[in-house]
């Protein structure tokens, strides 16, 4: 199932209106990591909101949208990065999460003044992550790694090197389940166990969460007050195991403020990165973490520039 940018934007629009959560989950499952838990496509088609719903957000600069991250009221504008609807409200009600405190990372780049893009890598760390770190270093690029707890304990040294290189670490659960199918206590344990593993290995507690498959609903949102980070450019690299295709998909849709989704567990993806980095650097982009993209204060729900 090839879901193009328009469908994705359509979904994002729907998400902001708080509609069709179940269907949205199904769509993102298909987009991200394969179709193993995919709902019927006809169901997705039925509830898909009209295209273009999410594309009207003005790009007033990442920092402009940071909007009350702590209170959970979320930004309504700009990179449209947040849900002002049901999800935002849900996030307000139960700030029971105690992690992610401590000094805010100091942004190295002012994304209000320069072109920024946030490269994000999911599902690692893995055997190709070190190669990726070398590619990123060659371009002074900082990225965000949404790691899986089970892999953190398998590749602790890789994660330490990732942190030492200045990259941001996000929580991508312990075993990569669809969180919308779990009871709240298990959602919390998926996140908490991963936090502990990351902290034990690096001393860092992740400030950001990316739900597997992008699968979110109000119940999941209530289990943490940390920003939930989705994406605005999907390379579908889990499906297209071709470096040329992955690079092309990243390069054709990127714009200032984009959050690009990759998976560093695929060697084809890692091999695509020199081309992606070279071309984007040539276009004047700076490679920043998700937190830096938002001036240190990511909104409650992050998509990035559409």
Catalytic residues: 122, 263
Number of residues this chain uses to bind Zn ion (CB under 5 A): 3
CB of 146 to Zn ion, least distance (A): 7
Contacts 24+ apart (CB under 8 A), 106-110: 106/296, 107/288, 107/291, 107/292, 107/295, 107/296, 108/142, 108/288, 108/292, 109/286, 109/288, 109/292, 110/63, 110/295
- Cα Rg, the chain, nearest whole Å: 17
CB of 151 to Zn ion, least distance (A): 11
**Residues 198-227 close enough to bind Zn ion by CB under 5 A:** 212
Question: How many whole angstroms separate alpha carbon 54 and alpha carbon 210?
Answer: 20
Among 21, 49, 122, 264, binds Zn ion (CB under 5 A): 122
Question: How many whole angstroms separate alpha carbon 176 and alpha carbon 211?
Answer: 8
Spatial CA neighbour of 259 closest among 235, 284, 231: 231
Residue 17: other Cβ atoms inside 10 A: 15
Q: Which stretch binds Zn ion (CB under 5 A): 21-29, 120-128, 130-138, 243-251?
A: 120-128
Cis preceding-peptide flag for 263 (omega within 30 of 0): no
Q: Which stretch binds Zn ion (CB under 5 A): 119-127, 214-222, 251-259, 291-299?
A: 119-127
69 or 212: whose CB is closer to Zn ion? Answer: 212
Which tokens belong to 160? Answer: 């330490």
CB of 145 to Zn ion, least distance (A): 11
Q: Which stretch binds Zn ion (CB under 5 A): 66-74, 116-124, 194-202, 285-293?
A: 116-124
Q: Which stretch binds Zn ion (CB under 5 A): 118-126, 194-202, 221-229, 288-296?
A: 118-126
8-state DSSP, 139: T
Name the region of 68 (left: φ>0; alpha: ψ -120 to 50; beta: rest).
left
CB of 267 to Zn ion, least distance (A): 17
122 or 178: whose CB is closer to Zn ion? Answer: 122
CB of 252 to Zn ion, least distance (A): 23
CB of 212 to Zn ion, least distance (A): 5
Question: How many whole angstroms separate alpha carbon 162 and alpha carbon 157?
Answer: 9
Question: How many whole angstroms separate alpha carbon 25 and alpha carbon 181?
Answer: 10
Interface with Zn ion includes 292 (CB under 5 A)?
Answer: no
Q: Report yes or no: 78 and 64 within 8 Å, Cβ to Cβ.
A: yes
231 or 294: whose CB is closer to Zn ion? Answer: 231
E-strand stretches of the chain: 116-122, 144-147, 168-171, 208-209, 228-229, 233-234, 259-263, 286-288, 301-302
Which tokens belong to 191? Answer: 């996140």
36 or 42: whose CB is closer to Zn ion? Answer: 36
12 or 28: whose CB is closer to Zn ion? Answer: 28
The closest residue (CB) to Zn ion is 122
176 or 286: whose CB is closer to Zn ion? Answer: 176
Among 10, 123, 155, 174, binds Zn ion (CB under 5 A): 123
Interface ranges with Zn ion (CB under 5 A):
122-123, 212
């Amino acid at each position: 199932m090839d879901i193009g940018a328009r469908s994705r934007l359509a979904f994002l629009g729907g998400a902001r209106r708080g509609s069709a959560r179940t269907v949205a989950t199904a769509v993102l499952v298909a987009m991200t990591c394969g179709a193993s838990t995919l709902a019927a496509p006809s169901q997705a088609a039925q509830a898909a909101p009209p295209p273009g719903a999410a594309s009207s957000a003005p790009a007033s600069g990442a920092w402009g949208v940071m909007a009350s991250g702590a209170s959970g009221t979320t930004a309504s504008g700009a990179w449209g990065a947040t849900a002002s609807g049901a999800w935002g409200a849900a996030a307000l009600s139960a700030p029971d999460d105690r992690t992610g405190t401590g000094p805010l990372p100091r942004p190295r780049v002012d994304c209000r003044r320069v072109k920024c893009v946030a490269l994000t890598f999911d599902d690692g760390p893995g055997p190709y992550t070190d190669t990726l770190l070398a590619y990123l270093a060659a371009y002074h690029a900082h990225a965000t790694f949404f790691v899986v707890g089970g892999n953190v304990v398998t590749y602790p040294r890789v994660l330490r090197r990732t942190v030492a290189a200045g990259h941001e670490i996000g929580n991508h659960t312990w075993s990569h389940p669809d969180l919308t199918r779990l009871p709240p206590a298990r959602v919390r344990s998926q996140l908490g166990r991963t936090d502990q593993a990351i902290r034990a290995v690096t001393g860092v507690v992740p400030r950001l969460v990316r739900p597997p498959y992008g699968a979110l609903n109000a119940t999941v949102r209530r289990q943490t007050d940390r920003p939930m980070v989705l994406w605005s450019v999907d390379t579908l690299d889990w499906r297209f195991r071709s470096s040329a295709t992955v690079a092309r998909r990243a390069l054709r849709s990127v714009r200032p403020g984009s959050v690009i989704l990759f998976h560093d567990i695929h060697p084809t993806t890692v091999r695509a990165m020199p081309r992606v980095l070279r071309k984007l650097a040539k276009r004047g982009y700076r490679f920043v973490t998700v937190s830096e993209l938002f001036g240190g204060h990511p909104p409650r729900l992050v998509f990035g520039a559409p």
